[in-house]
Amino acid sequence: MKTAPPNTSPISRWTIDAVYLWLLVCGLLGTVAYIVSTGPALNSQDFRAFYAAGHLIREAPSQFYDLATQHRYEDTASGTGPLLPIYHLAYEALLYAPLSFLSFKAAYFTYLLWNMLVLWFCYLLSPSGESIFTQRLRPVLFFLSFPPVLCSFVGQNSLLVLLVLCVTFRAFSRGRNLQAGLLLGLVILKLAIITPLALLLALRKGSRFLAGFLASCACVIGLSMALTGFGSTSQLLHLLAGATLSGDHSVQSQLQTAVWLRGMPNISGLLYLCGTGHLSAHSAFVVQLLADLILLAGCAFIQRRAKRDATALSAAIVCALLVGPHVYAYDLSCLILPMLLLSHRWLRMSAVLWFVVPPVLYCYGFLTWLAPAVVVPLALLAVCIAQFREEGRLITDAPREGTAQASA
């Protein structure tokens, strides 16, 4: 695949085609959301939990992680619906506190607009693309991809993580490792994804990146504890332990924790489809842990040996999504960055899977049957490995060519 020099200038992204496409998607998504909002389906969207979190952080911060209180606030705010537990650090609720002064429907549409604005800034601040193929595909990749559209529709926050990843890469490209670590620590709200990602990147970027990340994490954790009280830490840890399903992975337990293994396009969902659901919960957890460690070890090797930061960062993002214990289809929005940073010829096939597999699976089973979409990050991981090997061959072949010319 032909590569092209990256262009980091955000001004060049303001093309009339991109603006029209973004406005078109905003209009279509707003129309669908309005139709959905006229019925009870709106009460089951993920934004229900975030809206309740905004109320809780203002009115009952000490009970922020109490499941009964969460369910009561969710039902009061948006009507009777399923419990969607809050697993994130409490500082995130400060984003939703202003929305809690609005009605639930008004807050939902406000957050929908916010997500679409964040997506536009992701488009502006992202790299142009390492290949001619992705450079031409950039507006379509951002505005017509299923995961970011789904993220906006259900009211999730994965686009905020994508935005920070784009800015983090810009810091990497300028050699500002400390700044990159500080930025990445701000989105520790996606604990299951950011933690393995930060560990992998620390292997490549070293102590300055790690120091920045830990300092940023300490600030947001301290802020969260100050908001909800130090006693809430044990409640959060208890919730996170239950979300791993290591003690019970029955359907009833998945319902209570809102952790649907069949809906996760990661290693957990893949193993569940392959039969770990028939094992005991402890045995299934051990199998998953071994698979995660093998994958982490392989990606750690790439971090240490990759010649280019783009390849290393792409592998780290894909690996973090695969091993994260709580990953859903909207979290795959972060894969847009690796698709822009990679340039191997296999990327075209990955793009086909990206545009076809998630929407087809969603039409088949909505959010409860998206585990087979794991083929998308697995395909991108294969692209990362192929590009890593190809770059290594180019480096080793270059001295040999120079020696041959000198001998001639």
SS3 320: helix
CA-based torsion, 246, 247, 251, 257: positive or negative: negative
CB–CB of 207/197 below 8 Å? no
Amino acid 8: pLDDT = 43
Amino acid 215: pLDDT = 96
Amino acid 9: pLDDT = 44
Alpha helices in 126-176 (DSSP H): 132-143, 146-154, 158-173
HEC profile of 230-279: CCHHHHHHHHHHHHCCCCCCCHHHHHHHCCCHHHCCCHHHHHHHHCHHHC
CB proximity list for 66: less than 8 A, separation 6 or greater: 235
Amino acid 141: pLDDT = 93
Strand (E) or helix (H) holding 110: helix 104-125
Amino acid 395: pLDDT = 54
Question: Hunting for tokens 């998945």 — which residue is that?
Answer: 254
Amino acid 12: pLDDT = 54
289-303 burial by CB neighbour count: b if 16+ within 10 A, else e? eebbeebbeebbebb
What residues does each domain of the chain span? Answer: 11-392
Amino acid 252: pLDDT = 85
CA-based torsion, 231, 234, 237, 239: positive or negative: negative
Amino acid 45: pLDDT = 84
Amino acid 396: pLDDT = 54
Between the CA atoms of 289, 290, 296 and 301, what dihedral angle is there, to the nearest 10 degrees? 160
SS3 131: strand
- What's the pLDDT tens digit per position in 62-97? 999 999 999 999 988 877 878 888 888 999 999 999
Amino acid 272: pLDDT = 92
- How many CB atoms sit inside 10 A of residue 240's CB? 15
Amino acid 405: pLDDT = 47
> Per residue of the chain (408 residues), what is the pLDDT tens digit?
445 544 444 445 678 888 999 999 999 999 999 988 877 777 778 899 999 999 999 999 999 999 999 999 998 887 787 888 888 899 999 999 999 999 999 999 999 999 999 999 999 999 888 888 888 888 999 999 999 999 999 999 999 999 999 999 999 989 899 999 999 999 998 988 999 999 999 999 999 999 999 999 999 999 999 999 887 888 888 888 888 888 888 888 888 888 888 999 999 999 999 999 889 989 999 999 999 999 999 999 999 999 999 999 999 999 999 999 889 999 999 999 999 999 888 999 999 999 999 999 988 876 678 999 999 999 999 999 999 998 877 655 544 444 444 444
Q: By C-alpha distance, which of 329, 305, 299, 304 is closest to 317?
A: 299
Between the CA atoms of 337, 341, 346 and 347, what dihedral angle is there, to the nearest 10 degrees? 40
CB–CB of 332/358 below 8 Å? yes
Report how far apart the first and last C-alpha atoms of the chain are (Å, whole number).
Answer: 31
349 vs 198: CA distance, rounded Å: 28
Q: How many CA atoms lie within 13 A of 195 on its CB side?
A: 9
Strand partners, 131: 3
Three-point CA angle 181, 187, 192, nearest 5°: 100
Amino acid 391: pLDDT = 86
Residue 127 has phi, psi (to 5 degrees) of -65, 155
395 vs 73: CA distance, rounded Å: 59
- How many CB atoms sit inside 10 A of residue 101's CB? 11
Amino acid 3: pLDDT = 52
